[in-house]
Amino acid sequence: MPPRSDAAEPFGRGSVSLRVYPHNELTAPAIVDELCRQAALAASVGFDGVMTSEHHGGFAGYLPNPLQVTGWQLHAMGTGWAAPCPLLLPLRPVGLLAEEVAWLDARFPGRVGVGVGPGSLELDFTAMGLDLADAVPQFKADLPRLAAMLRGHDLGVLDGDRALAGLAAEGRSVPLVTTAMSPAATRRAARVGAGVIYDGASSPERLKELSAAHREAGGGGSRVLVRRVWLGDPPEAAFAAQFAVYEGYTPAERQRHWQGSGWLCGDDPETLAGQLVDALVGADADCLNLRIHAPGVTADQAREQIESLGAEVLPRVRAGLAATTPVR
């Protein structure tokens, strides 16, 4: 495993990040406050970064504006990185998204990442006057351009944008990952120099196959392993309800690769940390993104988990990663 210094970069190898979700039992202003409070708490207890993700119409646990929320969180955090991940790329003009990401990076240099996916919920597209059937073709067409623009390349008529042009002048890029649950998707990411982010339930054995496809296609970006965790007595009813939601819109072909519900729970932080390290190595992934939220988990419970994981689990995960050398 590369040295932990890479963890300071968005999606950096060896990093451990937290996915932060809105608590829809709160009012909108209180949700915003809590999203920022949890992001700042996560950074203070040792998480390298945070992510937020997109759905529309109040879909439980998701946001319509994760890029905007990322800016609020970065301001609140002080240190660490943040990323909207995943954004639904077919809902946005590529040039507009690239400009917005580049300017956020100009405000918080080196602390911004972005993840994108095609989307799969009908509501997200009908709300925008779009057709879900067009999502994947549009995503395939837009991804290469977005990847190039986040390096400051192929700007076309946007070549006068100071933030985008600055990326090329500085010889750097905004780190980009894409959702990928098939070998074809990982190869697509590799071709444009993007990393990949996996779902939270697929078995390490399946993900290792996807990682191999990404690597063989020349993929240079990170491979992000997502795992849902809980230290202590888990709120099983909330977890079961969230899992049922995922089952409702995930194709059966993908579900056959799931390993149970994807939750890793237990009272022993050493065991939990070991399970996370084993999953990362087994999937041939580079970094971890942890999730603790589900509808029914209160803001107080979430903050308690963040603190407990930071104190008890993260140091053990880092020690386990430092002692492990995955086959490269």
Token pair of 173, please?
A: 């890029």
- DSSP 8-state secondary structure symbol assigned to residue 196: E
For residues 12-23, average pLDDT: 96
Q: Is 123 exposed, middle or buried (0-12, 13-18, 19+ CB in 10 A)?
A: middle
How far apart CA 166 and CA 160 sit, in angstroms, is 10
Q: Check whether 217 has a pLDDT greater than 80.
A: yes
Instruction: Give the residues across from 149 on adjacent strands.
Output: none
The CATH homologous superfamily of the domain defined by 4-322: Luciferase-like domain (3.20.20.30)
Instruction: Give the residues across from 265 on adjacent strands.
Output: 230
Q: Check whether 259 has a pLDDT greater than 80.
A: no
Query: Tell me: the pLDDT tens digits for 57-80?
Result: 998 889 999 999 999 999 999 899
Query: Tell me: the pLDDT tens digits for 91-133?
Result: 999 999 999 999 999 999 999 999 999 999 999 999 999 999 9
Query: Tell me: the pLDDT tens digits for 218-252?
Result: 998 899 999 999 999 887 777 766 665 655 555 56
Q: Directed axis angle between helix 28-44 and helix 66-77, to 10°?
A: 50
Torsion of CA 47, 49, 52, 53, to 10 degrees: -110
Confidence (pLDDT) at 78: 86
Distance in Å from the first CA to the final CA of the chain? 9
Decide if 290 contacts 15 (C-beta within 8 A).
no
- DSSP 8-state secondary structure symbol assigned to residue 288: E
Render the burial of 166-192: b for 16+ CB within 10 Å, e for the rest: bbbeeeebbbbbbbbbebebbbbbbeb
Q: Where are the alpha helices (DSSP H) in 202-298?
A: 204-216, 236-249, 252-255, 269-282
> Of 141, 84, 95, 147, nearest to 118 (Cα)?
141
Confidence (pLDDT) at 306: 98
SS3 content of the chain, % helix, strand, coil (to 5): 50, 15, 35
Beta strands in the chain (DSSP E): 16-19, 49-52, 81-84, 87-88, 114-117, 176-179, 195-197, 223-231, 263-266, 287-291
Query: Tell me: the pLDDT tens digits for 282-299?
Result: 999 999 999 999 888 999
